[in-house]
């Protein structure tokens, strides 16, 4: 499993009293998506599924999630192409994007940050760290949708 679900519930929940944050998770591995759903719902974060790059782009345009989390290695359209497409679209150009991938090579992180992603994590990810980054990106998303 690519998600660390051991959560410290004594820490403040940044989303407890707010409407659910809507996060699109784009990954061709349904186990990753299921793990993200299970872990993030504990923080009042709703996960929208995108099972490959094309599906992720379509879900971004139709669902308008608050934040997008994408893998890099996927069939049809990979995560790099997803990021390029979203950054080049007027409607989605300022959408917060997080990369969550198994690729640990530093050139991938540099490349994706250069394309304008807001954060880069390697699998397995610590869910509390991910939630902290999501919380930091929510104001950016709300400003975009205002």
- Say if residue 111's pLDDT is above 80: yes
Instruction: Note the pLDDT of residue 51.
Output: 96
CB 113: neighbour CB atoms within 10 A?
Answer: 13
**Residue-wise pLDDT tens digits, 88-103:** 999 999 999 999 999 9
Instruction: Say which residue, 137 or 143, is predicted with more confidence.
Output: 137
**Residue-wise pLDDT tens digits, 53-75:** 999 999 999 999 999 999 999 99
Instruction: Note the pLDDT of residue 139.
Output: 77
Q: What is the mean pLDDT of residues 41-53?
A: 95
Report the C-alpha gap between 125 and 1 in whole angstroms.
10
Instruction: Note the pLDDT of residue 46.
Output: 96
Instruction: Note the pLDDT of residue 70.
Output: 98
pTM across the whole model: 0.86
Please state which CATH number belongs to domain 19-145: 3.40.50.2300
Per DSSP (E only), the strands in the chain are 3-4, 21-26, 45-50, 67-70, 97-101, 119-122, 125-126
Q: What is the mean pLDDT of residues 93-119?
A: 96
């Amino acid at each position: 499993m690519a998600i660390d679900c051991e959560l410290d519930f004594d820490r403040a929940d940044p989303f407890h009293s707010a409407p659910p944050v809507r996060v699109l998770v784009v990954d061709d591995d349904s186990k990753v998506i299921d793990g993200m759903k299970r872990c993030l719902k504990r923080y009042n974060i709703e996960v929208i599924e995108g099972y490959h790059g094309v599906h992720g782009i379509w879900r971004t345009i139709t669902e308008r999630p608050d934040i997008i989390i994408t893998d890099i290695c996927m069939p049809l359209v990979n995560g790099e192409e997803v990021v390029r497409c979203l950054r080049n679209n007027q409607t989605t150009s300022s959408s917060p994007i997080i990369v969550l991938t198994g690729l640990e090579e530093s050139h991938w992180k540099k490349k994706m940050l250069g394309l304008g992603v807001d954060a880069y994590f390697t699998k397995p990810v610590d869910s509390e760290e991910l939630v902290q980054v999501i919380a930091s990106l929510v104001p950016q998303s709300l400003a975009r949708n205002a």
